[in-house]
Amino acid sequence: MHDWPQWQQCQFPSGYSLCSIADESYSNELAKEGNIVVYNPYWLQIIFYLLTTVFVPGLTVLLVYCAYRIWLTENLLNACPIIFMAGLAGYLCWVLLPVIKYIPAKLEHDDNGFSLQLHNKVSRYSWPDIAKTINHGVIGVLHLVDKNGQIVFVVHKCTPGYKKFAKTVFREVGIRS
């Protein structure tokens, strides 16, 4: 039997993922400053941009093309599983589309509300300003919507600081699926 010490070093501890490790490391750095901040570091911004603008839409188009080819060469029944997967990828595109605008955003929150810095513009919101929240739990996307029905902020669960922010939002506003 071979001993693989390098492989052992690459494994995440039980219950951890890349998202949780990034969240903990950045949350610990920011906790030293006394702020509770939700933001994406540059390396995560690049991953999110590639995911939302290239990979998921490309996967959707590829699956639709494959289903079309199977339908032409065989029959529609054989293409149904691929059509179903294309529908799921299309839904993922639709849910992730609002995330693109908020990828470079930086949010600082406390018990009174939060300030959102987006494209060098800072907006301050109190918790009563948020009319509802929408949690796409399977995908891990949380939308905050104001009283006018406008999306105020969209955050993904892999964003560092998400856990503390989601707990605060749940406590102050409530999260509806």
**121 and 79, same domain (yes or no):** no
**121 and 157, same domain (yes or no):** yes
**48 and 80, same domain (yes or no):** yes
Give the pLDDT mean for 133-148.
82
Apex 156 CA angle, 107 and 41, nearest 5: 55
Tell me, yes or no, whether 10 lies in a domain: no
Instruction: Please name which of 88, 57, 82, 56 lies closest in space to residue 68, comparing C-alpha atoms.
Output: 82
Give the pLDDT mean for 61-89.
95
Predicted local confidence at residue 15, as pLDDT: 46
For the chain, the distance separating the N- and C-terminal CA atoms, rounded to the nearest angstrom, is 49
pLDDT digits (tens, 9 = 90+) for 11-38: 434 444 445 444 555 544 544 444 568 8
**118 and 142, same domain (yes or no):** yes
- Tokens linked to 130: 């948020």
Place of tokens 């006394």: 34
At residue 107, what is the residue type?
A: L
6 pLDDT band, cuts 50/70/90, is very low
Q: Which domain holds residue 132?
A: 104-172
Strands (E), 37-112: 37-39, 106-109
**118 and 66, same domain (yes or no):** no
Q: CATH number of the domain that 118 lies in?
A: 2.30.29.30
Predicted local confidence at residue 135, as pLDDT: 80
- Tokens linked to 153: 């902020």
* DSSP reduced 3-state for 108: strand
**74 and 110, same domain (yes or no):** no
Predicted local confidence at residue 32, as pLDDT: 43
Give the pLDDT mean for 39-55.
88
Residue 149: which residues within 8 A CB-CB, separation 6 or more?
A: 131
**130 and 168, same domain (yes or no):** yes
pLDDT digits (tens, 9 = 90+) for 85-129: 999 999 988 888 888 888 888 888 888 888 889 888 998 988 888
Lowest mean pLDDT among 30-44, 48-62, 82-96, 127-141: 30-44
Total number of domains constituting the chain? 2
Is the pLDDT at 60 greater than 70? The verdict is yes
- Tokens linked to 177: 């699926």
Predicted local confidence at residue 119, as pLDDT: 87
Give the pLDDT mean for 128-134.
85
Instruction: Please name which of 159, 134, 167 lies closest in space to residue 44, comparing C-alpha atoms.
Output: 159
